[in-house]
Chains A and B, each alone.
Chain A
């Protein structure tokens, strides 16, 4: 079966791209792979891509707009720098090229945004990677939300207040220039938390939503340093059971204010709120999520399943426009980033000062005031297959939900896979990618066509623990702090 499919791809490639060495490339791929599932996955996705390509080449030359079912769309977003693909797709006319007339509406907080998508007031939205998953499994409001497009990788940071930083600093090793060595582990925070506990004071930190990437990253960081960030249980949804550090929800724009007021002593949030804190002198970012887990999934573009079923052409058109926007953002080694910064600095998008946005989007990141380091991949929009919705990314978030008790019972590996497959839709992504390749906006090399939907297993975490998307339960067992298969229910 696989041989037949690869030959069909070969023929199509040759038809479209002229001379393409068929034999060596495709057939050697068949020879090298071992697992049945991988071959099936490759075959399936390759076929989808090939079918997409053949349909495009069969059409008349020139960009033919898809026959979209619904062309007046409203998308929601939260004022964070990683809504950039939406802004770029609108301002550069990519949505219009697809025949879509889009209104971008900023939302007050993540809950309002999610409710807007569920009730249909918003056709789609810039969402946290965990939101479609949590909604589909029924944690919070239940709704089948899906995503065919991952908006970016990385882009978050953990900031602590000036007072806490002063207490942490002595315990952090310094390099030859006297600057703190990064990444800073939460072990440096541990003595501070303990001193607060001995004085009877609670140690509060903020994150943006119970199923946000920020929540799981903050918890990962704390747990890797030996601090317990608290558990959830069906009866207690505060997430603070047995916690050394108490985590609570604060909307991103209010975080610097609450940090200044002392209500929280640190937070994990996306940009521009970490750079804003350091530039206004109210806090110090200690770690970015790039150092926590290199190239971790962050935001996705979420739609209801019903929308994608009723409007398949529209969904493809949206993904096409967003892929083009992501490519523009990472083009030529981030050459367009300054233009993107100017765009985002307008009050209808992010509205923060251009300098603060540029501090994280143009290849650097400022930790302590004046301590600017090179972090070229702080925001990744297209490189490293950032836009492909990998199942393994979905499964990582599901494992973290289980780790902290938001998923109350142990689940078999197959459950993780099924849930990921029902929420993340790489099929739609690949169809859109094929159309773009056919129209000449991208080349086939830009897309991970031979992926089975799982990223390669990686250990690039701050604590070096290996993550393999195909064995979620084994991963959970390997994490020190967190619920295991045999754990009693948290809080019982």
Chain B
């Protein structure tokens, strides 16, 4: 795998991981009012790419793709909401809401978007470099 193709694979893995994070954020936001919902946390880890078929391609060393880890739930305590008319309310009129904080979710979404765009930019640059290389060969 040449370096430019490696770049494409790396950026694609980054975009996929960020998109997954954005999906978890939107799940959290959608369940903001669901009683008993715990917010999902997304973290990332590095995974070694499988060895390429051609070990003789001198310039390639190991390549670490990125992957979203298994989902973890926020262990924070659920807030008690006072609503005696709610079907889930206990004797004192409280039920446990969700521990989603909309402001945190929006900040997380922004960060995911920023990283996604950076990956997209690298992808596009590698694509353009490949195109100009091919253009060179065509002449």
Do these two chains really belong together in a complex? no
